Amino acid sequence: MDVSRSKNNSQNVDFIIVGHGLAGSVLAIHLIKAGYKICVIDEPGLSSSSKVAAGIWNPVVFKRLTKSWLADELVPELIDFYTRFGKETQTDLITLRNIIKPFTEDQEKSLWQKKAQIENQFLDKTLYQDLQINSQEKISSYSKVLNAGNLDMLAFLEASKNYICSKYDYVSDKFDYEFLEKDDFGISYKGHHAKNIIFAEGYLISQNPYFNWIPMKPAKGEVLTIYCEDLLIERDILNKGIFIMPLGNHQYKVGATYEWNELNDQPTEKAKKELQEKLAALIKVPFQIMKHEAGVRPAVVDRRPVIGRHPEYSNLYVFNGFGTKAVMLAPYFAKHFMAYLEDGISLNTEVDVKRFFGK
């Protein structure tokens, strides 16, 4: 495949990236650092779950207390990538936190201890007691997920946009597929010329005529930002049916819901009520809702990202489907994608778009 860097005036850039959510941003940074010329096209008003997400990474699957897929590789890569980019852009991007997991039954504690001892370094081996979450309430028994944390999503998206703009073109416009022209030498779009184009437009890829055959299973999620003076959680994330993540100054992010039918960015009273009821039952102190937001996560039916080249058009690519674990997955697979583009290394079969060819 021809992904050599542009060396003449016949083409303006090497890659056009459609979409500036988390995945598109991470990939754009990798391409720039590898020496490629890029152009990012994104309409700010379009759906972007990245803008409302809490940005939490959790290396543990709570249901089975096993490591999340590829966690041993993903966590070091994400910490390295976001830390380096934060230093370069002088932006505080990630916060390392533990995730507090309360126990309600002795069976939960026994399973936790067993898993922590034999196979999962992300599970704290210590069992804790009496965590004061407000002036009246304690969590009687709990432990912690280690090496977790969160990315400040809005800060990262802003920093990445400024970084891209300082190097190359950033076009704030809705991408219209009818204006995409293809030939043996590359693609053209509204006066922009490139050797290749990469689609990273989230769940809206279902409207993409070149990749709408990818079997997506997007999920709408809603979150609250609350103010609560009586809550004593200062740094770690509390997770019991919902997550509660401290933001500072008595503010907390609370979420999230899952909805597979009404796929839009409009907050709903149903989800608000669900979160309010779960939160009230957990913290048992008054709180004020400051913000209510919604977004659609771009998940694939098999819960794996979808990366690679179009089966017919050699200069059309997809980098999508990172879902709820995008913060963990995007840096590792952007690096993996670069090795595929530059060195011809085969993509991981679990993420390769080829798995859907013929379906």
Look at the pTM and tell me if it is higher than 0.85. Answer: yes
Q: Give pLDDT tens digits for 249-264.
A: 999 999 999 999 988 9
Q: Which CATH superfamily is domain 13-51+154-216+303-356 in?
A: FAD/NAD(P)-binding domain (3.50.50.60)
pLDDT higher than 50, residue 4: no
pLDDT higher than 80, residue 352: yes
> In CATH terms, are 13-51+154-216+303-356 and 219-297 the same topology?
no
What distance in Å separates the CA atoms of residue 126 and residue 128, rounded to the nearest whole number?
A: 6
The amino acid at residue 24 is: G
How many CB atoms are located within 10 Å of the residue 66 CB?
Answer: 15
What distance in Å separates the CA atoms of residue 274 and residue 277, rounded to the nearest whole number?
A: 5
Q: What is the DSSP letter of 226?
A: E
pLDDT higher than 50, residue 309: yes
Residues 332-353: b if buried by 16+ CB within 10 A, e if exposed: bbbbbbbebbeeeeebeeebbb
pLDDT higher than 50, residue 9: no
Q: Where are the domains of the chain?
A: 13-51+154-216+303-356, 219-297
State the chain's maximal CA–CA distance in angstroms: 70
Percentage, residues of the chain above pLDDT 90: 87
- Highest CATH level, class, for 219-297: alpha beta
pLDDT higher than 60, residue 10: no
Q: Give pLDDT tens digits for 42-92.
A: 987 765 678 888 999 999 999 889 999 999 999 999 999 999 999 999 999
